[in-house]
Amino acid sequence: MKRVIVLRHAKSDWSDAALRDFDRSLNDRGHRAAAVMGRWAAHHGLTFDAIIASPAARVVDTLRHFREAYGACPEPAYDLRIYLAAGTTLAEVLAETREPASSILLAGHSPGLEELILTAVPDDARSPLRDSVETKFPTAALAVLDFDVTDWASLAHDFAGRATLRSFMRPRDLDPALGPDQR
């Protein structure tokens, strides 16, 4: 089994309309949400052998706050292919992970992260967590996927229906002030 902890970047700052999408960092709510999610992950014993992430400013900033709140963890490896990638591209990036890593934190963007989750987790009536992801995978949300594979390389060719969604947590589930339309 291989575990992928999927983290969407936190709420980005749109105050400077002249900035390129890639260069937008986080707003204050995003900083708070990333830290809340880092504390939650640490408290729930989520561990990872590596971090693979988009190099976009909002992801870099999310990981900085997440890691500060989480505690000691690996340094991120930034991969430009993750920036606005489709789910299949994300699976290909994961497939390049070197053994013996058994758990990866993957930090990136919508809609590719949702596409990865929704393709990897079978669509059946017994998965309220999957239904929640399908409804909305908001900023700073975190999902834990366990893939029924023995090696990372197999994800390059066959990741559809191979995962179980173990948990799905949104910042607003931990702090209502981090919910929609909250400041």
Residue 183 is assigned to a structural domain of this protein: no
- CATH (domain of 18): 3.40.50.1240
Give the total number of structural domains in the chain.
1
The residue type found at 139 is: T
Predicted confidence at residue 13, as pLDDT, reads 95
Predicted confidence at residue 124, as pLDDT, reads 80
Predicted confidence at residue 180, as pLDDT, reads 79
% of residues, the chain, pLDDT over 90: 91
Predicted confidence at residue 182, as pLDDT, reads 58
Give residue 9's domain range.
Answer: 2-178
Residue 120 is assigned to a structural domain of this protein: yes
Residue 137 is assigned to a structural domain of this protein: yes
Instruction: With CA atoms as reference, report the closest residue to 137 among 162, 115, 154.
Output: 115
Neighbouring-strand partners of residue 142: 7, 169
* Distance in angstroms (rounded) separating the CA atoms of residues 10 and 8: 6
Residue 26 is assigned to a structural domain of this protein: yes
Query: pLDDT digits over 72-115, tens only?
Result: 999 999 999 999 999 999 999 999 998 899 999 999 999 999 99
**Which stretches of 71-127 are DSSP H helices?**
87-95, 112-120
Predicted confidence at residue 157, as pLDDT, reads 85
Q: Is the per-residue pLDDT at 179 higher than 70? A: yes
Output the pTM of the full model.
0.96
Residue 96 is assigned to a structural domain of this protein: yes
Q: What value, to the nearest 5°, has the Cα angle with vertex 150 and ends 162 and 144?
A: 50
* Average pLDDT score over the chain: 95
